[in-house]
Amino acid sequence: MVTRREFLDTLATGAAGLAVASSAKSYGQILGSNERLNFAVIGLNSRAYAHLSSLKANKASARITHVVDVDSTILAKYAAATEKELGYAPVADKDFRKVLELKDVDVITIATPEQWHAPMAILGLEAGKHVYVEKPCSHNPAEGALLVAAQKKYGKLCQMGTQQRSSAFTIDIIEKIHNGLVGRPYFAKCWYNNTRKSIGVGKVVPVPATLDWDLWQGPAPRQPYRDNVHPYNWHWFKTWGTGETLNNGTHEVDVCRWALGVDFPNRVTASGGRYHFKDDWQFYDTLVTSYEYDDKMISWEGSCCQGMRYFNRGRGSLIEGTEGTVMIDRDGYEIYDLGGKKTSEFKVGKETTTADLVGADSMTDAHFANLIAGIRTGEKLHSPVAVGNVAVTMLQLSNIAWEVNRELHLDPTDGKIQNDPKSAALWNREYEKGWEPKI
Ligand X SMILES: NC(=O)c1ccc[n+]([C@@H]2O[C@H](COP(=O)([O-])OP(=O)(O)OC[C@H]3O[C@@H](n4cnc5c(N)ncnc54)[C@H](O)[C@@H]3O)[C@@H](O)[C@H]2O)c1
Q: Footprint of ligand X on this chain (CB under 6 A)?
A: 42-47, 68-71, 74, 96, 111-114, 116, 134-135, 161, 163, 215-216, 218, 231-232, 247, 356-357
Comparing CB distances to ligand X, the nearer of 46 and 266 is 46
CA distances from 300 to 129, 184, 193, 305, 315 (A): 34, 20, 11, 16, 10
Comparing CB distances to ligand X, the nearer of 155 and 359 is 359
Q: How far is the CB of 326 from ligand X (least distance, A)?
A: 22
Q: Residues 136, 246: contact at Cβ < 8 Å?
A: yes
Comparing CB distances to ligand X, the nearer of 163 and 393 is 163
Q: How far is the CB of 340 from ligand X (least distance, A)?
A: 30
Instruction: For 54, list phi and psi in degrees, rounded to 5.
Output: -75, -30
Comparing CB distances to ligand X, the nearer of 248 and 290 is 248
Beta-strand relationship, 315-321 and 185-193: antiparallel
Please list, residue by residue across 88-119, b when 16 or more beta carbons sit within 10 angstroms of its beta carbon and e when fewer do: eebbbbeebeebbebeebbbbbbbbbbbbbbb
DSSP one-letter code for 263: -
Task: Compute the distance between CA of residue 142 and CA of residue 439 in angstroms, rounded to an integer.
Answer: 13
Q: How far is the CB of 52 from ligand X (least distance, A)?
A: 12
Instruction: For 270, list phi and psi in degrees, rounded to 5.
Output: -150, 130
**Burial group, residue 182, by CB count within 10 angstroms (0-12, 13-18, 19+):** buried
Comparing CB distances to ligand X, the nearer of 111 and 386 is 111
Comparing CB distances to ligand X, the nearer of 43 and 144 is 43
CA distances from 124 to 142, 220, 261, 304 (A): 18, 18, 31, 33
Q: How far is the CB of 171 from ligand X (least distance, A)?
A: 17
Q: How far is the CB of 325 from ligand X (least distance, A)?
A: 25
Task: Compute the distance between CA of residue 151 and CA of residue 157 in angstroms, rounded to an integer.
Answer: 7
Q: How far is the CB of 49 from ligand X (least distance, A)?
A: 8
Q: Give the residue among 104, 38, 48 at the shortest CA–CA distance from 81.
A: 48
- Residue 253's SS3 state is helix
Q: How far is the CB of 181 from ligand X (least distance, A)?
A: 26
Comparing CB distances to ligand X, the nearer of 237 and 333 is 237
